Amino acid sequence: MRALLTFLLLATAPLLPALLVTPPAQAEEVVLGLSQDRVAITATFDGSEILIFGAVKREAPIATDAPLEVVVTVSGPSEPVMVRRKEREFGIWVNTDSVAVDSAPSFYAVATSAPFSDALSDTEDLRHKVSIQRAIRSVGATVEGAQAFTEALMRIREDRGFYTLQEEAVALDEQTLFRTALRMPADLIEGEYETRIFLTRAGRVISRYETVIEVNKVGLERFLFNLSREQPAIYGVLALVIAMLSGWGAAALFQMLRDR
C-alpha cells in the first residue's frame, strides 16, 4: 500500500504546479454601455447616432507610465463587391478592368482616443483588422494595380459616409471613463453590426470587448421589403399602381391650382 502511494505521488508531482496555479485575472477590462442596441429603419429613417460609453475595470494598480488608449469600431455586414475602372474611349466612358473584392463591410466606423498610429501599432492592426483598409479583404486579384481598386472603394464609401475614421473622437476621463458617438447614415442595410472596443497601451492591445447592434426594417419598410422578396410580381403591380395614382394626384392638383 505504501509503495502504491509513493508511486502515485511521484507520478502526479509534475502536474501539481499546473493544478495549483490559476491563470491571472486580466488587469484591465471593459465595462461597456450603448445608448441603443437596436436601430429601426422606418420609411422616414434619416440616420442614427449611437452613443458608445463605458468604463475600465481594474483588478490592481497598473505599474506603467504608458497612457491607456481606447479604439472603437462598428462594422456592418460584409459582402463581396465588384469594383470597375472606367476609361474614356472614342468619346464615351466604358468599363475596362475590374477587381472582385472578396469581403467589404457595408458600413465601417473607427473612433480612437489618440491618433490612430499612437493608439494601435501596425502589428496589432494587422492582427485584429482594425483600420478601414485591413477590414476589407481582397485576395487573388490579378489586375495590375489592384490596390488602387480597394482604395477607390474606400474613397467612394468615405464620401458617402459609410466609412469613417474619427481620430481623437473618444473622450477618455481619468484613464477610466470613455465615450464616443458614431453617426450611422440613412441607407443602412439590415443585419448585425459588430461593435468592438480595444484597450491599448503603447500601441498593444491589452483587452477587447465585443457586442452587436441589430439593424432591422420595421413598419412599411419591412412590409415592402418582404413583399419585394417573397411576391415580386405583386410588388411590381403595387409599385405601378402607386406610381399611376401619384401621377394622377399630381395632375389633378395642378389642374385645380390652374383653375383658380
Total residue length of the chain: 260
State the pLDDT at residue 12: 46
Global pTM reads: 0.69
**Domain contains 17:** no
* Cβ atoms of residues 116 and 132 within 8 Å: no
Rounded to whole angstroms, the Cα distance separating 250 from 36 reads: 40
Domain boundary among 198, 217, 236: 217
**Domain contains 78:** yes
Instruction: Give yes or no: residues 102 and 202 share one domain.
Output: yes
User: Read out DSSP for 86-136?
Assistant: EEEETTEEEEEEEEEEEEEESSEEEEESS-HHHHS-HHHHHHHT-SHHHHS
Instruction: Give yes or no: residues 72 and 55 share one domain.
Output: yes
Give the C-alpha distances (Å, rounded to integers) separating 119 from 58, 167, 202: 20, 9, 7
Q: What is the dihedral of CA 235, 236, 241, 244, to 10 degrees?
A: 140
Rounded to whole angstroms, the Cα distance separating 117 from 135 reads: 16
Q: Is 142 helix (H, G, I), strand (E, B) or coil?
A: coil
Please state the domain count of the chain: 2
- Domain that includes residue 257, residue range: 219-260
Instruction: Give yes or no: residues 138 and 175 share one domain.
Output: yes
Give the C-alpha distances (Å, rounded to integers) separating 73 from 55, 102, 167, 232: 16, 20, 12, 36
Instruction: Give yes or no: residues 87 and 198 share one domain.
Output: yes
Instruction: List the pLDDT tens digit at each of the 260 positions of the chain.
Output: 444 444 344 444 454 444 444 334 457 888 776 665 566 555 555 677 888 888 888 876 776 778 999 999 999 998 888 887 766 666 676 556 677 788 889 999 999 999 999 999 999 999 999 999 999 876 655 556 667 878 888 998 999 889 999 999 999 998 888 999 888 887 888 888 999 999 999 999 999 999 888 887 655 555 555 556 666 777 677 777 777 777 777 777 777 777 76
